[in-house]
Amino acid sequence: MKTMTKSGMIGYVAGVSVALFVANAQASDGCASKTKAAACAAPKDIVDTAVSAGSFDTLAAALKAAGLVDALKGEGPFTVFAPTDDAFGKLPAGTVDSLLKDPPKLRQVLKYHVVSGKVTAADVVKLSSAKTLLGQALSIDASDGVKVNRATVVKTDIPASNGVIHAIDAVMLPKDDIVDVAAKAGSFKTLLAAVDAAELTDTLRGEGPFTLFAPTDEAFGKLPAGTVEGLLKDLPRLRSILKYHVVPGKLMAADVVKRSSATTVLGQSITLQTASPTKVDNATIVKTDIVGANGVIHVIDAVILPKHDIIDVAREAGSFKTLLAAIDAAGLADTLRDTGPFTVFAPTDEAFAKLPAGTIDKLLKDVPKLRQILLYHVVPGKLTAADVVKIDKARTAEGQSVHIDTSDGVKVNGARVIKADVPAANGVIHAIDAVILPQ
């Protein structure tokens, strides 16, 4: 990856600022006309106000790179402690370049400058702290001017339609979260690469708190050859595994040894064996209580794997290849790997083969229609065969109901259940011999 030079960074900032300025100018085209004068006199939102000020070009570029422009153009209200261009210039060489290449970290830093609500200067001087959108609090000192953390407020009460801006003379950096702590440890490179690939970095940089049972690089190295590479190509499965290593809340070692289990973010429970050595499922905890601003890390010596969910079970069966390809194409794999529970009336490959020639290819090109059909095969909740025979219809995740006929075996909208009660960690599968279509 090329390193952005100082001139390159300045060019990027200038380009973004010009783009935002042009967009703002186009939006306000015709302000000179009498009929539009009143509307054009209305305050601009926080982003447009910052761009117009001319002293927040780097901030505006950072908001663009972090994907936060739309958020700060939202209803709010927001209070932004906005570092000037000079403030960004005080950062160590390369810091801005590095942040622009790391959007999750950049988002974390920027959210640390934003407080929910409209807090004017008159309000600020009455506070000793303020909670940011990141979840961490800023300290406020009004004993000699106004300082937010160590940054001095150099201009106050810059009005915007959706809040207020206070200019500050330094960029404020939040305390290290569990992602930062793991990165600095140096022994979790594979874990962090997986978290990034699974698009969970923003989640683990969030307010939390979280308890992360973190496998070391050596732990990942114990997996069978090709496993990590395979997971990086199967992001829904990777997300499931990573979520299985995270417990909501902050469980210190003293808390862990008092429990026999804990429910993970995935929804499945991990087993805690508190006799020495302490284990999480089959992994040994080798180091405890590594604290971050939004939680705690316990280091483990093996990757722990969740029980097989509906997707895993269907794949292992070997007779649902077309269904699984359709689920993947429709973007529903993450949904069916979630907590659930779900009941899936699963058409076999032979069932899909009964459709008219070209139907599957056509559906794969029409994702909304494909999603509708697939969700029509899913019923929220876990309905075993014993439950199914007691009802005559069931409302699906698509919204419409399927008709159930138990007069001659079990049929769902005319499709016969050929194998029932295939269990999964997050529900149950009933194999059917035809694809059922919603109205």
Out of 111, 146, 168, a domain closes at: 168
**Domain annotation covers residue 260:** yes
Long-range CB pairs of 103-107 (<8 Å, 24+ gap) are 103/65, 103/66, 103/67, 104/179, 104/196, 104/201, 104/202, 104/205, 105/179, 105/180, 105/205, 106/62, 106/65, 106/66, 107/66, 107/67, 107/68, 107/202, 107/205
**Domain annotation covers residue 326:** yes
Assess whether pLDDT exceeds 90 at residue 142. Answer: yes
pLDDT of residue 30: 42
**Domain annotation covers residue 268:** yes
pLDDT of residue 41: 52
Domains in the chain, number: 3
Residues 131 and 190 in one domain: no
Assess whether pLDDT exceeds 70 at residue 6. Answer: no
DSSP string for residues in 127-187: -SEEEBTTSPEEEEE-SSS-EETTEEEEEEEEEETTEEEEEESS---PPP-HHHHHHHHSS
Assess whether pLDDT exceeds 80 at residue 20. Answer: no
**Domain annotation covers residue 142:** yes
Residues 16 and 71 in one domain: yes
pLDDT of 68-115, one tens digit each?
Answer: 999 999 999 999 999 999 999 999 999 999 999 999 999 999 999 999
Q: How confident is the model at residue 276 (pLDDT cuts 50, 70, 90)?
A: confident
| Dist CA 154 CA 145 (whole Å) | 9
Assess whether pLDDT exceeds 70 at residue 48. Answer: yes
Residues 206 and 111 in one domain: no
Q: Domain with 243 in it: what CATH number?
A: 2.30.180.10
pLDDT of 349-378, one tens digit each?
Answer: 999 999 999 999 999 999 999 999 999 999
**Domain annotation covers residue 305:** no
Which DSSP symbol is given to 14?
H
To the nearest whole percent, how much of the chain has pLDDT over 90? 88
| Dist CA 30 CA 156 (whole Å) | 31
pLDDT of residue 107: 95
**Domain annotation covers residue 193:** yes
Report whether 156 contacts 121 (CB < 8 A). yes
**Tokens describing residue 360:** 């599957």
**Domain annotation covers residue 200:** yes
pLDDT of residue 358: 93
pLDDT of 299-353, one tens digit each?
Answer: 999 999 999 999 999 999 999 999 999 999 999 999 999 999 999 999 999 999 9
Assess whether pLDDT exceeds 80 at residue 237. Answer: yes
Assess whether pLDDT exceeds 50 at residue 178. Answer: yes
Report whether 247 contacts 266 (CB < 8 A). no
pLDDT of residue 38: 43
Residues 150 and 203 in one domain: no
Residues 259 and 336 in one domain: no
88 phi, psi to nearest 5 deg: -65, -35
Q: Exposure string (b/e) for 415-437, b if CB count within 10 Å is 16 or more?
A: bebbebebebbbbbbbbbbbbbe
Q: What is the mean pLDDT of residues 207-233?
A: 96
Residues 283 and 407 in one domain: no
Task: Assess whether the previous peptide bond of 159 is cis (omega < 30° from 0).
Answer: no
Out of 300, 318, 336, a domain closes at: 300
Out of 168, 195, 229, a domain closes at: 168
Return the higher-pLDDT residue of 251 and 34. 251
Residues 163 and 21 in one domain: yes
Assess whether pLDDT exceeds 50 at residue 27. Answer: no
pLDDT of residue 296: 98
Residues 53 and 102 in one domain: yes
Which residue range(s) make up the domain with 415?
A: 310-432
Residues 221 and 293 in one domain: yes
SS3 content of the chain, % helix, strand, coil (to 5): 40, 25, 40
Q: How confident is the model at residue 43 (pLDDT cuts 50, 70, 90)?
A: confident
Residues 159 and 10 in one domain: yes
Residues 25 and 149 in one domain: yes
pLDDT of residue 83: 98
Residues 235 and 355 in one domain: no
pLDDT of residue 110: 97
Q: What is the mean pLDDT of residues 141-153?
A: 95
Assess whether pLDDT exceeds 90 at residue 383. Answer: yes
Tell me the CA end-to-end span of the chain in Å, nearest whole number. Answer: 51
**Domain annotation covers residue 437:** no
Assess whether pLDDT exceeds 80 at residue 384. Answer: yes
